[in-house]
Structure 1
C-alpha cells in the first residue's frame, strides 16, 4: 500500500511539473518577440540611458553626503522646502 501511495504521489508531482513547464512554454515569448522587447527597452535609448546615469550619480552623491554627516538631511530638506514655500507665498501676495 505504501509503495502504491509513493508511486501515485510521484506520478502526480511529475504531472504537475510537466503541466507547469508546458504552460510556461506556451506563455513565454518567442525569440523574435524577445528581440523586439529588448530593442524597445528604455535602456536601449542612449539619451535615456545618459539621463539614468546622471540621476544615479546624483542619488549616490546624496547617499555619500548622508553617510558622511551626523545631521538629519531630511530636516535640512524640509527647512529648505519650507523657506521656498514662504518665498512663493510672498511672491503671490
Structure 2
C-alpha cells in the first residue's frame, strides 16, 4: 500500500508540474510579440531616455542636498519650527 501511495503522489506531483509548465507556455508571449515589446520600451526612444536621465540627476541632487542638511524635510517645507 505504501508503494502505491508513493507512486500516486509522485504522479500527482508530475501532473501539477506539467500543468504549471503548460500554463506558463500558453501565457508567455511569442517571439514576435517579444520583439514588439522590446521595440516599444522607453529605453529605445532617445528623447524619453534623455528625460529619464535628467529626472534621475534631479532626484540624486535632491537626495544629496537632503543628506547634507540636518533639517527633517519629511515634515514639510522650511526649516525647524520656531
TM-score with structure 1 setting the length: 0.74
Where does 1:20-39 land on structure 2 (aligned, <5 Å)?
20-39=20-39
Mapping of residues 11-90 of structure 1, within 5 Å: 11-75=11-75, 78-79=77-78
1 or 2, which has the higher helix percentage? Answer: 1
The structure that has the greater radius of gyration is 1
List 4+ stretches of structure 1 deviating above 6 A: none
**Larger RCO of the pair (alpha carbons < 8 Å, separation 6+):** 2
Q: CA RMSD in A?
A: 1.5
Aligned length: 78
Structure 2 residue ranges without an equivalent (≥5) = none
CA deviation string 1:24-68 (max 9, x = no partner): 111211111100111011221100010001101111111122122
Equivalence for 2:10: 10
